[in-house]
């Protein structure tokens, strides 16, 4: 059975212990980092050693409705992607 991922509370507890701060302060920092990454994603937001958040333009393409089998056009759209840094790939495996 695979291990469960850490919850936000567990992450905040770990960060607060490692940095000698409170869980509340660690939570504020994490929330601000997330908000900043969303705001700056249009220009590509990099977290050194972890990866980069980027906006990617997807072209329109043909697809199929799985319920009816009918062919349809999937419109072009912008999507948010996270590109993992090489360091993170190498250390995670």
Q: Please give the structure tokens belonging to residue 21.
A: 């701060």
> Helix H segments across the chain?
8-19, 23-40, 86-92
* 49 and 22 both lie in a single domain: no
Per-residue pLDDT at 90: 87
Same-domain pairing of 59 and 36: no
Same domain membership, residue 21 and residue 2: yes
Q: 25 and 48: one domain? A: no
Rg (CA), the chain: 19
| Per-residue pLDDT at 89 | 87
> How much is the pLDDT for 91?
87
Asked if 52 contacts 44 with a C-beta cutoff of 8 angstroms, the reply is yes
Residues 21, 51 share a domain = no
| Model confidence, pTM | 0.71
Domain at 54, CATH number? 4.10.520.10
Mean pLDDT by 10-residue block, N- to C-terminus, for the chain (93 residues)? Answer: 85 94 94 93 91 93 92 94 90 74
| 93 and 79 share one domain | yes
Which residue range is the domain that position 55 belongs to?
44-93
Backbone angles phi, psi at 10, to 5 degrees: -65, -40
Q: What is the pLDDT, as a whole number, of residue 3? A: 81
């Amino acid at each position: 059975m695979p291990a469960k991922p850490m919850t936000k509370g567990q992450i905040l507890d770990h960060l607060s212990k490692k940095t000698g701060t409170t869980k509340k302060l660690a939570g504020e920092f994490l929330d601000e980092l997330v908000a900043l990454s969303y705001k700056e994603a249009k220009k590509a937001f990099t977290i050194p050693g972890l990866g980069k958040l980027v906006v990617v333009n997807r072209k329109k393409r043909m697809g199929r409705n799985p319920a009816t089998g009918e062919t349809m056009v999937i419109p072009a759209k912008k999507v948010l992607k996270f590109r993992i840094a090489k360091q993170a790939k190498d250390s995670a495996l």
